[in-house]
Structure 1
Amino acid sequence: MEHPPRDDIRLEAVLHALSDPMRMSVVSTLATAREELSCSLFDLPVSKSTTTHHFRVLRESGVIQQVYRGTAKMNGLRRTDLDALFPGLLESVLTAAGRQASRLGDA
């Protein structure tokens, strides 16, 4: 699996990846996880192929890192890279998403 090196991560790609509610749900879950999470732990209300697409967009934009551990594909947030490139962006987006979910009753 290809992941962009830190210096190749672009703001436009990150913002695009975070603009989709399904992808934002994945990022929010990973942001609160204490360890990497398997793709199978995410129960998104879309088809398997669409779920795969969402994870690919997140990976190719540099938002997540995916690695195989045995047969499981594990996902982790690239928080260190994103914070170094765009200080405060990830935390601001996560905070705003949480407030929106509370305001709209999606929490």
Structure 2
Amino acid sequence: MTEPATRRARNLVHTDPAEVSLQDVLDALADPVRRSILRELSAEPDFSRACGTFDLPVSKATASHHFAVLRAAGLLEQVDRGSRRFNRLRRAEFDARFPGLLALVLAEAR
């Protein structure tokens, strides 16, 4: 049973925010669903929210895509625990690369 989770975890690629261009970040932040994911994560302890616990107005496949885009932009770190994937907002790392940008996104009216 651990083999599928192990195989899944090997597929996780976490981009260092220091290697992300401003354009890539702006593209990731352009989608309101992705911004809502970030806002929800900002109010939670690290790795306490699994992907399936977000009430998103999209299909499961589309939600997976949104999480992958945020991970590729250096905004999320994910870890697999059993059959669930948990998330952490990489606030400190991201703020070091793009000071103030995440604060603007998180302050956006919903």
Q: TM-score, normalised by structure 1?
A: 0.84
Could you tell me which residue of structure 1 aligns to residue 21 of structure 2? 10
4+ residue runs over 6 A deviation: none
Matched, 1:83 2:70: no
Asked if structure 1 preserves the Cα contact closer than 8 Å seen for 2:39 and 2:106, the reply is: yes
- Larger RCO: 1 or 2 (CA < 8 Å, sep 6+): 2
Asked if structure 1 preserves the Cα contact closer than 8 Å seen for 2:35 and 2:105, the reply is: no
Could you tell me which residue of structure 2 aligns to residue 52 of structure 1? 64
Matched, 1:34 2:50: no
Displacement after TM superposition at 1:3 (Å): 1.1
Q: Quick one: distance in 2 between partners of 1:92 and 1:45? A: 23
Q: Provide Cα deviations, 1:49-86, integer angstroms capped at 9, x if missing partner.
A: 11111111111111111111222101111101111011
Q: TM-score, normalised by structure 2?
A: 0.82
Q: Quick one: distance in 2 between partners of 1:83 and 1:7? A: 10
Q: Quick one: distance in 2 between partners of 1:58 and 1:2? A: 11
**Tell me, which stretches of 5 or more residues in structure 2 are unaligned?**
1-11
Residue aligned with 1:75, SS: strand
- One-letter code of the match for 1:82? F
Identity over the aligned pairs, expressed in percent?
45
2:36 pairs, out of 20, 25, 37, with 25
Q: Quick one: distance in 1 between partners of 2:62 and 2:72? A: 15
**Tell me, which stretches of 5 or more residues in structure 1 are unaligned?**
102-107
Asked if structure 1 preserves the Cα contact closer than 8 Å seen for 2:17 and 2:73, the reply is: no
Displacement after TM superposition at 1:89 (Å): 1.0
Aligned residues: 98
